[in-house]
Structure 1
Amino acid sequence: MAQLPSRQDILDWVSAHPEATAKRDIAKAFNIKGAERIELKRILKELEAEGLLERRRRHYLDAERLPPVTVLQLLPPDADGDIFAKPLEWHGDAPMPRILYAPLKSDPAIGAGERILARLIETRGEEDHDYQARLIRRIGTVQHRVVGIYRESRNGPEAGGRILPIDKGSDKEWQVRPGDAHGAKDGELVEAEQAGPRGRLGLPMARIIERLGDPSAPRAVSLIAIHQHGIPDDFPDDVIAQADAAKPASLKGREDLRHLPLVTIDPSDARDHDDAVAAELHDDGGATIWVAIADVAHYVTPGSALDREARKRGNSTYFPDRVVPMLPDILSGDLCSLHEGVDRPIIAVKMRLDAQGNKTGHSFHRAMMRSAASLSYEQAQAAADGNPDAQTEPLVYNVIRPLWGAYELLKAARARRQPLELDLPERKIILTPDGRVKSVNFRDRFDAHKLIEEFMVLANVAAAEELERLRRPLLYRVHEEPTAEKLDALREVAEASGFTLAKGQVLQTRHLNRLLEQAGGTDFDELINMTALRSMQQAYYHPENYGHFGLALRSYAHFTSPIRRYSDLIVHRALILGHKWGDDGLSHWDIENLSDTAKQISETERRSMAAERDTTDRYLAAYLADRVGAEFSGRISGVQKFGAFVRLDETGADGLLPIREIGREYFHYDPDQQILLGSETGLEIGIGQRVTVRLSEAVPLTGGLMLELLEVEGRPLPQGSGRGRGGAKGPMRKRATQSRLAEVKRAQKRRRKRNA
């Protein structure tokens, strides 16, 4: 009689043989026969019930991996032009795997929203994605939605019309039957959904579900992003009713901290105030820091209508002209907001620092506070610099100076910890009162900003450590280290620029900071910062702790912004449960669905980021629309086989330099070197190069900017013969291009040896 395999043996075998996982395959692999198969069946059922295996039809699969052949839905291209896909089903506890769609040249063009049957190639540990997908066949589309401009038929409104999508790069029109126009007028912005198979003209059919108004109206810019990305912007009636019924919290069951000189420091136009801070300096050189956070959990209780809607939204989304909040305004802008001179419920953390800025202890308190002042960053900074105004002058000695003294301690601790120090300016779009772009600036960054950041980071660390001590479940903020492939790409760029990045040792943020310091003040400063940023993995939420690479922290959770992030609300509830502060802590449902919540809010965060990025692109295109034909300086920020992306110095806007506008010759794309190489002139186009371009097109509706190349590194663009332009090339030109590319690689290798 064969000995039954252990549970782990079965899991290991299924993981190693995803193509053969029926019960009979497993039995055959372990030589299990007769009555022993009944025991094997019991073990498999246990593993399935525990979520360690997933059963599809008669096959068992590793719940954390995808099968080698699966159905995927294609997503819109990302900022780099890459197309990712998502599985139609995913039941693992880990975040949904990232799947890069890698079509062959012979594959048909397939658009976002379409479903495909694909063969998956696992790439774990090597790329910024977990799988590559190869097309087997098209399946069709899911219920697709589109935002676009409605055009009536030339035969009149009774004949229906078409929708012209406003997605970048989308040239597919949709046909609307007469009865599906929903009263839309010619030229109106509309949202529509797929309505059956293709029509007589071969166009997909659409049914208009909402009229969004004039596409040229200023507020249409963010409205487009809201509808394109499916961001909920209207609260259901039961959510509004529950919020309207909320009453200010009482002191009962809370500590009274209204005597503390807590102040809020926020942007001058902030409406919600999540956090307040105070500090006290000690004779031994240390300090005590207080960080008080709005007690949103008091109002948003588990399983309530407010809770369900907040989880669905995941976070607030911020646009230049509006905010789509996670919570109704009566909570986010009033009852939860820490307004000056008003009693507000909080969860506060008191942290003790030694003279070196190390946190030596902390304690959490459910309390009541009263803000001593609501300050802007500019006000707080001016007061710290010795230029207080009427509001801050009484606060200089007992509030401002202790805060800055504590910040100096935290700054010293940060310098020892060496978190990643990227220097990437942040854009700020200034609108006129009627919503049009007045100017595009880069945000000022004061010590006041850094002070609040350091206080919040320390409070977030304390929250994670406290919940670990209490052995309560929580959502960690996870940021994993870069993949080996991304690091190799960064190393290539660094070495080609004359710098070095340590190899052959465990990567730490201090190694990257050393590279950034080498590049600082040189012509390659922006290039190295940009490439380092692109080498980073995206942060996400997870119930398991994998550390935070960028901040160089072992344990990190989001605790400080529960008005605008659902993750922080979960952490607050965990603290309430752990300290037995009330019955509004984590529920059984919260705990059982923590993995699903982590995936949900990680996805809504990415959704908001994409919507905010698209809106910024549209505002920038509108701002530059009157300057078509003007020349701009910039830097190559990305290279693809269809052209290059250029980031303009003046506004930080990214425009596309199509390959047809680069020169009168064939250009070879080398993905390893991230360059385009001219077949005749040997012109190299690579990330980080300084260029002068002419703006040839600006389309506010899509956010697209098209550019024409004039100069590279201060030199006029060399001109080829024009033969082969646009991609045609013969064998001789192909061999010449490949020979030139080999020369480029040899030159780069020589530079690396000199730098070694």
Structure 2
Amino acid sequence: MSKMPTKAEILDWISAHPTQTSKRDIAKAFGIKGAARIDLKQILRQLEAEGHIEKRKKTYADPDRLPPVSVLEVLPPNDQGDLFAKPLEWHGEGVEPVVLVLPRASDPAMGAGDRILARLTVVHEEDHNYEARLIRKIGRSSARRILGIFRKGAEGGRIVPIDKAATLEWLVPDDATHGARDGELVEAEQSGPKGRMGLPRGRILDRLGDPSGPRAVSLIAIHQHGIPDDFPDAVLAEADAAKPMGLKGREDLRDLPLVTIDPSDARDHDDAVFAQADPDPANPGGHIVWVAIADVAAYVTPGSRLDTEARKRGNSTYFPDRVVPMLPDRLSGDLCSLHEGVPRPCIAVAMTLDKDGNKIAHRFVRGLMRSAASLSYEEAQAAIDGAPSDKAGPLLDTVLKPLFAAYAALAAARERRQPLDLDLPERRVELAPDGRVTSVRFRDRLTAHKIIEECMVLANVAAAETLQAKRVPLLFRVHEEPDPDKLEALRNTAQSSGFALAKGQVLKTAQLNRLLQQAAGTDEAELINMATLRSMSQAYYGPENFGHFGLALKNYAHFTSPIRRYSDLVVHRGLIRAHGWGTDGLTEAEIEGLQKTAEHISDTERRSMMAERDTTDRYLASYLSERVGDEMEGRINGIARFGVFVKLDDSGADGLVPIRSLGNEYFHFDREAGTLMGSDSGMVIALGQRATVRLVEAEPVTGGLELELLALDDKAMSRAPGGPARRGRGGPRRKPTAGKTGRDKAKRKVTRRRR
């Protein structure tokens, strides 16, 4: 009788003979017969229990190795055009194998998302572990995907989705866990018919690590929204090869004391400004305002790898703990950033204003500048207010005061133009070095902020006007008028709050501003501002000019941020083409593809906005998770059939009061009026009401907040016209009772009664 092999010898055999791994094959290989097979079976069970192998039907395999014939999902080609694929039959716990697909000339075309059956060969290349030859295509991946937390069970496990809107957990069979550990953040796709209790059945595709890690919040958003966050090596190499630009072919602006004014934590500096009184006696009281923008087009040329990657990303995405840049740091943080005292290439515009702030002339130049100082908004403002820093002090009379004087004229012109003047404070999430939220506060709104905004708006107008005049195609920033139905909803909200928005005339932003002014200083101010914002259409990029309604401008394009927006890079190339400044201008191929580019970067902008919003929600939930059980003040800012949304005063976070928690009364939902009305009491819950709530649950992974309604403003808890509404379907019952505390003299308390 042959000697019983050791565990190591059995594992070596399985690795060397992946097609001969049944118990019979192993016994035959080692000459094991008769009763000795029982001992072999015991060893195989031990190896399986220890995780070295797993049983697949009647064969055994190393879970960290792929079967010789595998199902793969093709990934997008890299910069060299190579196709890699994700193995869908890997069950190991180590690093996922990398598979290079080697297409034959006779193979059908393969692209990202294609599912293929392929024969694998083990290799030991630096950048991949296997090479694959196509056997046949078996379709495309159209399965629904989710991100969630994996919970290991006796047979496989389950996935708890992180999306607040998802209500069902997913079941994961034992052979589809991808080696995930309990509590890991994973990406999964639906893999077949529903399992027990009607729950979706899924297959884990990717393991993303610890969801409670300090940097996991933004990582979740990056992965969930498909934001590219790693630059290919070829793109990085192209950026690293770039050299500083000289003066050749440029106007020398190095003696012009341009300064950058940015947030104190700015990661890049792509715009600089300077202003002076116009020396022309024909323009008494006038100003000359310079805006210089980093010349990104000099480094990111059409058709280059940098250009392809920048277009794919569309824009940079900003999170509280990181930025996912459109360009590699060699450019965004170095060669294209207008650092203090360093020569940098730029495209600049000098704009002449009359004493009333009207732009009466402008000219563009391609130049070389040197920033006189990098200032923060607070630093510039403090200097004007009488407390200059050592850096700002020497610039006070020559740079800052002329800049603020020019702004006074621009502000007067803005007042005449009447762009939409919403008052919506911006939240700022502040983090400790370990990623923990330390505070949430609202950003200050300084005159220094407004100066830069007005200078940038003016430069954007100048760029659009120049390209139109020179008949060079461009991407406009388009903001169309509000949809009539949304406008009518705003009108109803205004009327119910005691304000008026006139009907029957062409809508202008001045009319909306009059509404906002009526509400200013009242309890309804925030409601009217939010309702006005919701009535607006979403801005987008397009090659046709439909104007910018919100800014009350006929011609508008984005020119001032080419480091972080691809749209601005296109406009820069248009200016280069229009002025004949070089061969790196807008190409005919780009012009033909402007519509597709516009649609793509409009989509990437929306993607980033959603990712940034979701990340803020998760950080706020993390911040508030230590205050579960606390009472908080807020205002109702959303009404739905399933509940009431309340914006909390201190943090600006939005939480949901589920309708099931309101108590023992049915509530009728009036979509048009945006109200819930109790069928027994006639009590109306409406937008804009002040509310006292208790925080019931804060879930950092999903960003969800659940609230319990404790009290509402007494004046708002009135009976609706016509008496109690008919009983709605599916809602709970409840009755209000009079408050008895001093605070409740102005509020009525909500008493919850369970069924």
TM-score when normalising by structure 2: 0.75
**Closer/same/farther in 2, CA of residues 207 and 663 from structure 1, 3 Å limit:** closer
Report what 2:701 is aligned to: 701
Report what 2:391 is aligned to: 391
User: Is structure 2 residue 241 aligned with structure 1 residue 245?
Assistant: yes
Report what 1:556 is aligned to: 556
User: Is structure 2 residue 584 aligned with structure 1 residue 575?
Assistant: no
Q: CA deviation at 1:214?
A: 1.2
User: Is structure 2 residue 396 aligned with structure 1 residue 400?
Assistant: no
Once the two structures are superposed, residues 194-253 of structure 1 have per-residue CA deviations (whole angstroms, 9 ceiling, x without a partner) of: 445556775544443332211111210111111111111111111111111111112111
Q: Check conservation: 2:679, 2:727, Cα contact below 8 A.
A: no
Hey, what's the Cα distance between the residues in 2 that align with 1:709 and 1:200? 36
Once the two structures are superposed, residues 415-437 of structure 1 have per-residue CA deviations (whole angstroms, 9 ceiling, x without a partner) of: 00000000010000111111101
- SS of alignment partner, residue 493 of structure 1: helix
Q: Check conservation: 2:628, 2:698, Cα contact below 8 A.
A: yes
Hey, what's the Cα distance between the residues in 2 that align with 1:665 and 1:256? 74
Hey, what's the Cα distance between the residues in 1 that align with 2:660 and 2:199? 29
Report what 1:628 is aligned to: 628
- SS of alignment partner, residue 534 of structure 2: helix
- SS of alignment partner, residue 375 of structure 1: strand
Letter in 2 for 1:479: H
Report what 1:421 is aligned to: 421
Report what 1:258 is aligned to: 254
Structure 2: unaligned runs, 5 residues or longer: 1-139, 720-725, 734-755
Q: CA deviation at 1:715?
A: 7.6
- SS of alignment partner, residue 234 of structure 2: helix
Hey, what's the Cα distance between the residues in 1 that align with 2:244 and 2:172? 50
Q: CA deviation at 1:458?
A: 0.1
Hey, what's the Cα distance between the residues in 2 that align with 1:188 and 1:279? 55
What pairs with 1:208-223 in structure 2 (closer than 5 Å)?
Answer: 208-223=204-219
Hey, what's the Cα distance between the residues in 1 that align with 2:594 and 2:465? 18
Q: CA deviation at 1:695?
A: 1.0
Q: CA deviation at 1:176?
A: 3.4
Hey, what's the Cα distance between the residues in 2 that align with 1:399 and 1:728? 65
Hey, what's the Cα distance between the residues in 1 that align with 2:432 and 2:730? 48
Hey, what's the Cα distance between the residues in 2 that align with 1:529 and 1:726? 30
Hey, what's the Cα distance between the residues in 2 that align with 1:330 and 1:144? 38
Report what 2:332 is aligned to: 332
- SS of alignment partner, residue 243 of structure 1: helix
Q: CA deviation at 1:668?
A: 0.4
User: Is structure 2 residue 189 aligned with structure 1 residue 176?
Assistant: no
Hey, what's the Cα distance between the residues in 1 that align with 2:450 and 2:185? 42
Hey, what's the Cα distance between the residues in 1 that align with 2:639 and 2:285? 52
Report what 1:454 is aligned to: 454
Please, what is the CA RMSD of the aligned residues? 2.1
Report what 1:164 is aligned to: 160
Q: CA deviation at 1:305?
A: 1.1
- SS of alignment partner, residue 698 of structure 1: strand
Q: CA deviation at 1:185?
A: 1.1
Hey, what's the Cα distance between the residues in 2 that align with 1:511 and 1:561? 31
Q: Check conservation: 2:315, 2:325, Cα contact below 8 A.
A: yes
- SS of alignment partner, residue 513 of structure 2: helix
Q: CA deviation at 1:625?
A: 0.8
Q: Check conservation: 2:682, 2:718, Cα contact below 8 A.
A: no
Once the two structures are superposed, residues 565-596 of structure 1 have per-residue CA deviations (whole angstroms, 9 ceiling, x without a partner) of: 00000000111111111111112221111001
**Closer/same/farther in 2, CA of residues 500 and 718 from structure 1, 3 Å limit:** closer
Q: CA deviation at 1:308?
A: 1.0
Hey, what's the Cα distance between the residues in 1 that align with 2:458 and 2:244? 29
User: Is structure 2 residue 590 aligned with structure 1 residue 594?
Assistant: no
Letter in 2 for 1:242: E
Once the two structures are superposed, residues 30-56 of structure 1 have per-residue CA deviations (whole angstroms, 9 ceiling, x without a partner) of: xxxxxxxxxxxxxxxxxxxxxxxxxxx
Q: How many residues get paired?
A: 585
Q: Check conservation: 2:689, 2:716, Cα contact below 8 A.
A: no
Percent identity between the two aligned chains: 68
User: Is structure 2 residue 519 aligned with structure 1 residue 519?
Assistant: yes
Report what 1:190 is aligned to: 186
Q: Check conservation: 1:709, 1:717, Cα contact below 8 A.
A: no
Letter in 1 for 2:276: E
Hey, what's the Cα distance between the residues in 2 that align with 1:241 and 1:452? 34
**Closer/same/farther in 2, CA of residues 179 and 302 from structure 1, 3 Å limit:** farther
Q: Which moved more, 1:555-564 or 1:704-713?
A: 704-713
Q: Check conservation: 1:710, 1:716, Cα contact below 8 A.
A: no
- SS of alignment partner, residue 499 of structure 1: coil
Report what 1:281 is aligned to: 277
**Closer/same/farther in 2, CA of residues 199 and 659 from structure 1, 3 Å limit:** closer
Once the two structures are superposed, residues 592-648 of structure 1 have per-residue CA deviations (whole angstroms, 9 ceiling, x without a partner) of: 110011000111111111001111111111111111111111111011111111111
Report what 1:230 is aligned to: 226
Q: Check conservation: 1:663, 1:718, Cα contact below 8 A.
A: no
Hey, what's the Cα distance between the residues in 1 that align with 2:715 and 2:575? 61
Hey, what's the Cα distance between the residues in 2 that align with 1:694 and 1:334? 48
Report what 2:510 is aligned to: 510
Hey, what's the Cα distance between the residues in 2 that align with 1:602 and 1:315? 10
Report what 1:690 is aligned to: 690
**Closer/same/farther in 2, CA of residues 238 and 143 from structure 1, 3 Å limit:** farther
Q: Which has the larger radius of gyration?
A: 2
- SS of alignment partner, residue 441 of structure 2: strand
What pairs with 1:309-320 in structure 2 (closer than 5 Å)?
Answer: 309-320=309-320
Q: CA deviation at 1:708?
A: 1.1
Q: CA deviation at 1:171?
A: 2.5
Structure 1: unaligned runs, 5 residues or longer: 1-139, 734-756
Report what 1:351 is aligned to: 351
- SS of alignment partner, residue 231 of structure 2: coil
Q: Check conservation: 2:684, 2:718, Cα contact below 8 A.
A: no
Q: Check conservation: 2:685, 2:717, Cα contact below 8 A.
A: no
**Closer/same/farther in 2, CA of residues 291 and 524 from structure 1, 3 Å limit:** same
User: Is structure 2 residue 486 aligned with structure 1 residue 490?
Assistant: no
Q: CA deviation at 1:342?
A: 0.5
Letter in 1 for 2:657: L
**Closer/same/farther in 2, CA of residues 179 and 335 from structure 1, 3 Å limit:** farther
Q: CA deviation at 1:191?
A: 2.1
Q: Check conservation: 1:681, 1:718, Cα contact below 8 A.
A: no
**Closer/same/farther in 2, CA of residues 718 and 660 from structure 1, 3 Å limit:** farther
Hey, what's the Cα distance between the residues in 1 that align with 2:607 and 2:665? 39
Letter in 1 for 2:422: L
Letter in 2 for 1:374: S
Q: CA deviation at 1:322?
A: 0.5
TM-score when normalising by structure 1: 0.75
- SS of alignment partner, residue 466 of structure 2: helix
Once the two structures are superposed, residues 119-159 of structure 1 have per-residue CA deviations (whole angstroms, 9 ceiling, x without a partner) of: xxxxxxxxxxxxxxxxxxxxx992333211112222xxxx4
Report what 1:271 is aligned to: 267
Q: CA deviation at 1:303?
A: 1.1
Q: Check conservation: 1:427, 1:442, Cα contact below 8 A.
A: yes
Report what 1:146 is aligned to: 146
Hey, what's the Cα distance between the residues in 2 that align with 1:253 and 1:603? 36
**Closer/same/farther in 2, CA of residues 194 and 344 from structure 1, 3 Å limit:** farther
Hey, what's the Cα distance between the residues in 2 that align with 1:377 and 1:631? 36
Q: Check conservation: 1:660, 1:725, Cα contact below 8 A.
A: no
- SS of alignment partner, residue 396 of structure 1: helix
Hey, what's the Cα distance between the residues in 1 that align with 2:500 and 2:158? 55
Hey, what's the Cα distance between the residues in 2 that align with 1:498 and 1:198? 52
Once the two structures are superposed, residues 385-427 of structure 1 have per-residue CA deviations (whole angstroms, 9 ceiling, x without a partner) of: 1210111111011111111111111001000000000001000
